[in-house]
Chains A and B, each alone.
Chain A
Amino acid sequence: MNNNSHGFLYTIKKYKVAYAYIAPFYVLFAIFGLYPIVAGFYLGFFRWNGLTGRRFIGIANYISLFTDKLFLKALGNTFFIGIIAHIPILLGGLALAYILNSKLIKGKNIFKTIYFMPMVTSAVAITIIFQNFFGYNYGFLNYLLSFLGIEKINWLGGDGSRIKIAVIVMFAWKWIGWNMVIYLAGMQAISSDIYEAATIDGANNWRMFFSITIPMLKPIIIFTVIQSTIGMFNLFTEPFVLTNSSWTGGANNGGLTLMMYLLNKAPQGGTSYGYASACAYVITLMIILISFFVNTAAKEKD
């Protein structure tokens, strides 16, 4: 026993360099990751203005959260934007990757670079462009639509219902390239032998896409769906800047997202720190539930 523990200490000492190399991550994670997450859960049961008089109120924060019309509006908006925007980024990303993977196409890298440009550009700058693009009087979109004989549409104002369309367009425009690049890498990893065998068996392109490519890509598709779901719940910059830094999401809260609602409770607009913590936990729980659901739904089909 004594000998054994001596041996254990000896190995620890022998690898002290390795422990030193990995230590920064665990130290920083404990302070800036683990502590806030635990404290956030705890804070969610209190009423607190951030300074004095922290008062335990049980699950009252959670109850008022789900009875707040504004929160439900933010929840609805976020889901609406996220679900609709996932259609083009999933289907479009897959289709684009499949086209780029085809032997007929040359200059793959040029297209890849172009489609990826929005991902390396500041979301604020992009939003500024789109704010102009969707402008009422002089917006380019309304100009294009005038050729089709469509009257000017007040995209960002009016009753606020069309702000979401603008956000969806931006979300899709930004994420389609990211999805495409990752799907393409996944497709290139599929051995060409499988396709050759299928061709000999007489399968056409569509058949190969649905029976070989999609099933082989499944883990990667799940990965991208979870990533963009997280992106959807963190959606903040685009609607915020689009509505001229309005914390309430513009006309009729049409562009209010969950993240905006949360940050406006604390620390930006108000000082309801306990309430905001509860809100953060609800958002997190939804991310986890959706990731879990996507994972199991995909596995059940096997």
Chain B
Amino acid sequence: MKIFFFCLLLIAVIVLISRIPKRGTKIALYAVLIILAVIMIFPFYMMFAMSTHATSEIYSFPPDLLFGSRTLENFYKMTAAVNFPLSFLNSTIVSLSYTVLVLLFCSMGGYAFAVYDFPGRRQLFSLLLVTMMIPWTAGIIPWFMLMSKFGWVNSFKSLIIPGCANAFGIYWMRQYCSKNVSRSLMEAARIDGCSEWTIFFRIIAPVIQPAYASLGIMQFVNVWNDFMQPLLMLRDPDKMTLPLLLKTMVSDRGTDIGTLMFTSSCAVLPLLIVFLFASKYFLSGLTAGAVKE
């Protein structure tokens, strides 16, 4: 109840500020944005800060919110407890191979739908759109059995191959190609005697590089962070991806918090840095897929 009143008070203050003539609205809007930005960043900050503390320091009241000095200690404890580099490598192998295949198949498919007027194009494309709307949950059990029949349980193939030519990627690439692929360039190449394969792989593929960047980042992030599929598929400790490694550390109640926070920081940081630098590609790609024109 008290929390509720506190929130009401906060809103009242912001509304009051917005009533101040001239600059009031602007200040109030910025206040809202900044408060939310702090809420978004704070958990990350807490994780990084805790990864520099020993567990005994974290388990204290009031909590220490500044950075500590036990980073190296946590690092040694992590290397003793788990094989972080191996999991990192596993995650990298899975995510990279998946992304490369997605880019290849989806750009091929999207390009074909965008530029060739082949018989059955409209029907096939509608079918593709329909498959996007079917929730994959429906087939989860037979899907799992199929994997074990193929002998893909405990293999990265189960995470890489099933989704590597996905409908979202093809739809997304088609949107991009129909706007950005120049027909006259294709015609010119044809007159020069290029085969259709050469036209795509040698001439068109370099032109649609921004699309590769956007779709690539989106798909990479999804696989890198995926938890449920690896949990179902990878039983062997040597095959664990990073989210699985973290989960194992949580469920072993012996793991101390400082080490756990240090490990999750190491798992999260690389992708976060990539995102901060490439957020333009990521966000523009995402909205291009969602906002149809």
Binding site for B on A (CB under 8 A): 8, 11-12, 15, 17-19, 21-22, 24-29, 31-33, 35-41, 43, 50, 95-96, 99-100, 102, 104-105, 109, 111-118, 120-126, 128-133, 137-138, 140, 143, 145, 148-150, 173, 177, 181-182, 184-186, 189, 219-220, 223-224, 230, 233-234, 236-237, 241, 244-245, 259, 262-263, 266-268, 273, 276-277, 280-281, 283-284, 287-288, 291
Chain B residues within an 8 Å CB radius of A25: 105, 109, 128, 165-167, 170
For A150, list chain B residues within 8 Å (CB): 2-3
B113 CB to nearest A CB, Å: 7
- Residues of B with C-beta under 8 A to A268: 231-232
State the majority secondary structure of interface residues on A.
Answer: helix
Q: Is the CB of A122 within 8 A of B268?
A: yes
Q: Report whether A124 and B246 are in contact in the complex, using a CB–CB cutoff of 8 Å.
A: yes
Contact of B257 among A132, A145, A186, A245 (CB under 8 A): A132
Whole-angstrom CA separation of A223 from B162 in the bound complex: 25
Are B291 and A37 in touch, CB under 8 angstroms?
Answer: no
Contact A245 B140 (CB under 8 A): no
Interface residue from B47, B124, B137, B200 paired with A287 (Cβ < 8 Å): B137
Interface: B108 (CB within 8 A): yes
Do residues B139 and A138 form an inter-chain contact, with CB atoms below 8 A? no
B163: min CB distance to chain A, Å:
8
A181 CA / B289 CA spacing, docked (Å) = 12
B→A interface (CB under 8 Å)? 2-3, 6, 25-26, 29-30, 32-33, 36-37, 39-41, 43-44, 46-47, 50, 58-63, 105, 108-109, 111-113, 116, 118-119, 121, 124, 128, 131, 133-146, 161-167, 170, 196-197, 200, 221, 224-225, 227-228, 231-232, 242-243, 246-247, 250-251, 253, 257, 260-261, 264, 267-268, 271-272, 275-276, 279-280, 282-283, 286-287, 290-293
B10 CB to nearest chain A CB (Å): 12
**Is the CB–CB distance between B167 and A280 below 8 Å?**
no
Q: Told that A17-B196, A39-B142, A40-B139 touch, could you supply 12 new A-B pairs with CB distance under 8 A? A: A31-B146, A112-B283, A116-B282, A122-B242, A124-B250, A125-B47, A128-B246, A138-B58, A138-B60, A143-B62, A276-B140, A288-B135
**What's the Cα separation between A59 and B119 when bound, in Å?**
42
User: Which residues of A have CB within 8 Å of B293?
Assistant: 189
